[in-house]
Structure 1
């Protein structure tokens, strides 16, 4: 390893560490926000049950499940809080490894001449930077894919909420018929409204 290589790899490591620090803060803050949101919803659901009981009203099954956190399923946990927590932990590990490598490079640079070749350190630092940069690229791709999936899921959920099961089934059948035959869906004719009969004149 040469002094020029040590200076170059140091620049790259510091740049990746700057981005990695921001990513670590972003994901850990996201995880903390989700935890706080869940806690607030839990308390609000329990307060709602207290209000209903004080009014002499019986809470519904959904309201009781919200107050007992039964709605917080493992899948919901994994897709939200746990995902942010895992991403934050990954960046903590990557940044910690980069700091360790950087310390080794600085230690080598501080040695008096003649310095050891440190070929293994040069290779390890190279692989560490490549791994961190690859993680940055992969994260951008995965986050874009996740955003597309999230928006699609939100749109499908709105479709389910705004239309009855019968309407969605009618839509599905109309699409299937159109795919097979090209036939447009038939719209039921509106009932003809007859004008009211005017009262007979005396």
Structure 2
């Protein structure tokens, strides 16, 4: 290992460490915010229910249902967040390995008349290469996960806003390649006056 190599590998490790630390901090910060907010909301509601019980009154059934939904949502949220927490844990381990590798390289560079130490050079190279690969793969995987989650959310809103029959009707129209608004049965089903669309019926049928 040469001094030039030590300078290069130290710079690479520092850059990857910076990115990894930011990634870890962002994920854990979001986790802390969601956890604190969810627990505050749930335990505030629990406190209100206990106050009602103290007065000898029957708690509102809607509050009890909300508490049950909050518990289910908390468990479901932990399951959905598993990939992000796995990435955070991976970066935590990888950052510690990078720190150890960098310290060893710096120690070698600061030692007078240090030998070539090929084992340290090889180890530091593979650690840096793995860290760079993780950085690239994580960016790709997280982008794919976010895109998939956004697609599912959009589809959920679409299905919640329209009935299955309306969606099926649209699919049929798309397959038939309908072009004229006069062929849209949705105008009738929605109670829209055809005359308001600017289409005038021909009483002669021609």
In the superposition, the TM-score normalised over structure 1's length comes to 0.75
Q: CA deviation at 1:91?
A: 1.2
Structure 1 residue aligned with 2:7: 7
Structure 2 residue aligned with 1:149: 148
Partner deviation per Cα, 1:79-103 (whole Å, 9 max, x = no partner): 12x4443322211111100111112
Within a 5 Å distance, the mapping from 1:140-179 to structure 2 comes to: 140-161=139-160, 163=161, 167-178=162-173
Give the SS at the match of 1:17.
helix
Give the SS at the match of 2:39.
helix
Structure 1 pair 10/191, CA: closer, same or farther in 2 (3 Å)?
Answer: closer
Taking the aligned partners of 2:29 and 2:170, their CA distance within structure 1 comes to 44
Structure 2 residue aligned with 1:195: none
Is 2:52–2:58's contact at 8 Å kept on the other side of the alignment?
Answer: yes
Taking the aligned partners of 1:176 and 1:112, their CA distance within structure 2 comes to 76
Within a 5 Å distance, the mapping from 1:77-96 to structure 2 comes to: 77-80=78-81, 82-96=82-96
Structure 1 pair 144/131, CA: closer, same or farther in 2 (3 Å)?
Answer: same
Aligned Cα RMSD in Å? 2.8
Structure 2 residue aligned with 1:200: none
User: Per residue, is there more helix in 1 or in 2?
Assistant: 2
Taking the aligned partners of 2:24 and 2:115, their CA distance within structure 1 comes to 35
Structure 2 residue aligned with 1:72: 74
- Is the counterpart of residue 131 in structure 1 residue 126 in structure 2? no
Partner deviation per Cα, 1:136-185 (whole Å, 9 max, x = no partner): 22222222222222322322232344x3xxx4211232144235544564
Taking the aligned partners of 2:28 and 2:134, their CA distance within structure 1 comes to 17
Gaps of 5+ in 2: 194-206
Within a 5 Å distance, the mapping from 1:185-196 to structure 2 comes to: 185-187=184-186, 188=188, 190=191
Gaps of 5+ in 1: 193-202
Is 1:52–1:59's contact at 8 Å kept on the other side of the alignment?
Answer: no
Taking the aligned partners of 1:191 and 1:85, their CA distance within structure 2 comes to 50
